[in-house]
Structure 1
């Protein structure tokens, strides 16, 4: 069923989320029970806002001050000002006593990475405005950059579809260390990477403008995460999206952060037990837990020798009953009190992991909702008991927009081959084979079936008489028949081969459909979004119009 938007057509199809995440977006009862709120009900956000007012003590003044400074720095790098930068005012509004925040986040991908990164941002922006209108209080969208993450492989490439091919732009240097992404500088051959990327952007005035901007930005910043932050800021500042970097020293030095880290240490055994029970419950529902950790592993990382290392709890340095903590792959270890004292003095040496990050998030922000992808939804399914143990409450988890962009010529190709997105995704080879067969003007299959039938009929007339006359000669006739059929089959194979060569246009069309619609997986998880935003200037406005009730589906946007 479709909807006409500002200038585009939406079509809803079944969600591409799988497993637990799909059950969640469809609000199946057993999975929904793992979460305290129904994301599809506005009442959930009203109840959450009341919970925040009653139970949360948020350091609004300090947080707003840090974020305002950060948005100002990004605006200088991006060249956004005036009406182009509502993010600065949004950051100031966090200081408002009634303010709330819709949060989302993602790894700092190369040139923004796959386009679901921006889909998350647009979902947060739209939902924040929706809730602000509904609740009558400031609601700010915020993007949490995963700069503490150390998986370089996840952020080191991006892909763009052009014609029949998907082109991969990848950083030349491979970094195997566990250094946080937020500490990485742009590589030596960065300008070559920028040039390769921009050569694949639309060759129009806006594409040229983006090429100039990316080249200029390369001379103004040396940080990989700053480059990402400025791109996101440039694309979303006019909508008031606030960019947050968890590696900002000022956030680590907040009393709320230090207190939170201390609680993670003190309550570790209980937290590990609750996570184990939660994972067991998820298995009992027929799903595999998305996140499990060894019972001894602390929900904090320690930054040592430029790398981010896990911390494990052991029985004692001197075989006593006093607990101690060992930093993996190092000779560093601490008694519990020593570890607590260190995090009080140098909190920047620590960072949260996949379990503690959302909990820390909700200690420093009045989180009215978190916009999540399918993997994150599966993570959060295990977190309810952990939230409770930390005297917190999981916020409503809102599924991000899930979208495939269908450009005009791609839509026409689908129509030409009488195919839908779902048919093509599941049966592309079959549909192409049918299209090639339809181009067979000679009816090659029928032609050779008739020939084989005629030959078989003719041979049958001589094989039986020859066999009766002389058994040896009859067998020779049978062998001769098999050789003739083999030659006919060979000739048919060559005819079909020539036919397929004559159908190169069809193959090219299907290669083009593959590269643009399903390039080895969902388009939103692979292709970069900038070419679409450059070609279709009002695309962002259209995405911000998507109704909340569409979030349980995958959307086809016909451009």
Structure 2
């Protein structure tokens, strides 16, 4: 496998906020802690070690062992779970929704980034243990975001009238999804392995949480991945004092709102990823996950008849902490309270909302983790790589928007000059003397001169476009081949990793796929990886 790398900024697919973060723009420094260079982990380790309660470790280990009780646990994962009880063990965490059959391809990249970072840390800090952790978002209720995956340009969808936390959903009806998928797969060895994996995960388990754990464990268990479900009464007991501050003092709302305003002051181009609510917890019970809202001194569960006085809600939180489900603002704090985590690995959108949270963490006296942008990759088959070479393309060309990509290449390969930049420059020089003449005689003529300049520049633009269009017709076959290749690698004019499911690559490469990615994705590479599989 050949590996290349393009700076994230040059791909055109990452926000200004994330690009500025990767550049460690000084104005952003108040919004993150230590930047995730390997050398900086020494300080992060010391901070987490000094602030993570030892009493949380045995609770965490007991919960994990219980959650894994019905699953086959690899030796590496078993050792990692046991090691979490030791003071010198730390986690590296990523999180993801319970997308059907992993959802987009980047699910793999997130987890592989996490696994590989723990390996790098162990080499540099051998006296410590580092555990890769996948946090399953079992409490999310956005079923429409997770109930499908794309396969060979088609949407494979689980149709279900769902409500409440997705992790508790029964896997009823997934046999029809399997039959649809089976018909598309074919009958190769790799296809049969995918069939078996889907059946064992979804038809062999009664709920989506267990199905997802089985699937992630099957793909990454041998690499020691530890999978955690935060929807647990013992873990939520630890969260209780922090939930109280959010619900009754609106601490998160105040601090995160301040951070958002401060981010806007750094740049008006930054997109605010999430906004806090006065209360950032849902009430979770009996297929219901609804926001808790304060109304006239009462605490009401939105869209239900359930309500509490302040004292009643405090008692409910104390006695039934499992009924309180953190939202996107509160969940990161929950994660850091119960895990000895050093670094969170996520996509650009995730890191954008983490950058809103540092002040909130400081107020709660919880160490803020390092934030690492997950690996991103474009995977080319040997056949596709040969097409790139034959068409004399650079892979970076393929990241351009399609019209810009085609125009750029037509200009390069055309036997006539379609770039009128030189003519525009000469025109501007000629009009400079006309502006000077107008100023010296009658300044009212300046508008007329300007209008004439604009007219002639527009005429040049029109001529250039017509010439380019004519060359596209003349080089039609070349244009079609380039367009087809880009559409293969960037389906729906989007990144491959956001559209494809891992099963498409698995059909091509089989059991070699995950080891290939583990071997060649470097979480600290600071660029978009181009992987050419031979």
Q: TM-score range by the shorter chain?
A: 0.7 to 0.9
- Does residue 43 of structure 2 align to residue 47 of structure 1? yes
Post-superposition CA distance 1:269-322 (Å, at most 9, x none): x3322122111001001123212134xx31211125522111122342xxxxxx
Residue number in structure 1 paired with 2:120: 130
Residue number in structure 2 paired with 1:105: 95
Post-superposition CA distance 1:67-116 (Å, at most 9, x none): 123234232xxxxx6xx552222112111222111111111111101011
Residue number in structure 2 paired with 1:184: 169
Aligned equivalents of 1:543 and 1:230: distance in 2? 20
| Distance verdict in 2 for CA 1:186–1:508, change over 3 Å | farther
Which of residues 201, 213, 220 is equivalent to 2:204?
Answer: 220
Equivalent position SS for 2:369: coil
Aligned equivalents of 1:513 and 1:329: distance in 2? 47
Query: Does the 8 A contact of 2:151 with 2:503 survive in 1?
Result: no
Taking the TM superposition and a 5 Å limit, the aligned residue runs for 1:492-531 are 507=480, 510-531=483-504
Aligned equivalents of 1:151 and 1:531: distance in 2? 25
- Does residue 112 of structure 2 align to residue 115 of structure 1? no
| Distance verdict in 2 for CA 1:535–1:89, change over 3 Å | farther
Following TM superposition, by how much is the alpha carbon of 1:127 offset from its aligned partner in structure 2, in angstroms? 0.8
Aligned equivalents of 1:273 and 1:196: distance in 2? 48
Which of residues 151, 155, 172 is equivalent to 1:168?
Answer: 155
Query: Does the 8 A contact of 2:280 with 2:327 survive in 1?
Result: yes
Structure 1: state its 5+ residue gaps: 1-6, 76-80, 317-323, 444-495
Equivalent position SS for 2:343: strand
Query: Does the 8 A contact of 2:490 with 2:496 survive in 1?
Result: yes
Post-superposition CA distance 1:388-416 (Å, at most 9, x none): 11111211111110111111222222233
Which of residues 394, 408, 417 is equivalent to 1:420?
Answer: 394
CA RMSD of aligned residues (A): 3.1
Aligned equivalents of 2:209 and 2:396: distance in 1? 37
Equivalent position SS for 1:86: helix
Residue number in structure 2 paired with 1:229: 213
TM-score of the two chains, using structure 2 as the length reference: 0.81
Equivalent position SS for 2:281: strand
Residue number in structure 1 paired with 2:239: 257
Larger mean Cα displacement after TM superposition, 277-286 or 410-419 = 410-419
Query: Does the 8 A contact of 1:417 with 1:435 survive in 2?
Result: no
Equivalent position SS for 2:279: strand
Equivalent position SS for 1:301: strand
| Distance verdict in 2 for CA 1:99–1:436, change over 3 Å | closer
Query: Does the 8 A contact of 1:439 with 1:503 survive in 2?
Result: no
Taking the TM superposition and a 5 Å limit, the aligned residue runs for 1:287-436 are 287-294=270-277, 297-304=278-285, 306-316=287-297, 324-429=298-403
| Distance verdict in 2 for CA 1:544–1:27, change over 3 Å | farther
- Does residue 251 of structure 2 align to residue 280 of structure 1? no
Residue number in structure 2 paired with 1:245: 229
| Distance verdict in 2 for CA 1:194–1:26, change over 3 Å | farther
Post-superposition CA distance 1:153-206 (Å, at most 9, x none): 110111133xxxx22212233x4x541111212242x22312333444475323
| Distance verdict in 2 for CA 1:61–1:10, change over 3 Å | same
Residue number in structure 2 paired with 1:465: none
| Distance verdict in 2 for CA 1:192–1:436, change over 3 Å | farther
- Does residue 45 of structure 2 align to residue 64 of structure 1? no
Aligned equivalents of 2:106 and 2:216: distance in 1? 13
Equivalent position SS for 1:369: strand
Aligned equivalents of 1:27 and 1:539: distance in 2? 33
| Distance verdict in 2 for CA 1:303–1:108, change over 3 Å | same
Following TM superposition, by how much is the alpha carbon of 1:553 offset from its aligned partner in structure 2, in angstroms? 1.4
TM-score of the two chains, using structure 1 as the length reference: 0.77
Query: Does the 8 A contact of 2:375 with 2:523 survive in 1?
Result: no
Equivalent position SS for 2:356: coil
Aligned length: 474
| Distance verdict in 2 for CA 1:38–1:436, change over 3 Å | closer
Post-superposition CA distance 1:475-514 (Å, at most 9, x none): xxxxxxxxxxxxxxxxxxxxx9xx89x9689647633531
Structure 2: state its 5+ residue gaps: 417-469
Post-superposition CA distance 1:362-401 (Å, at most 9, x none): 1111111111211111111111110011111211111110
- Does residue 202 of structure 2 align to residue 206 of structure 1? no
Equivalent position SS for 1:354: coil
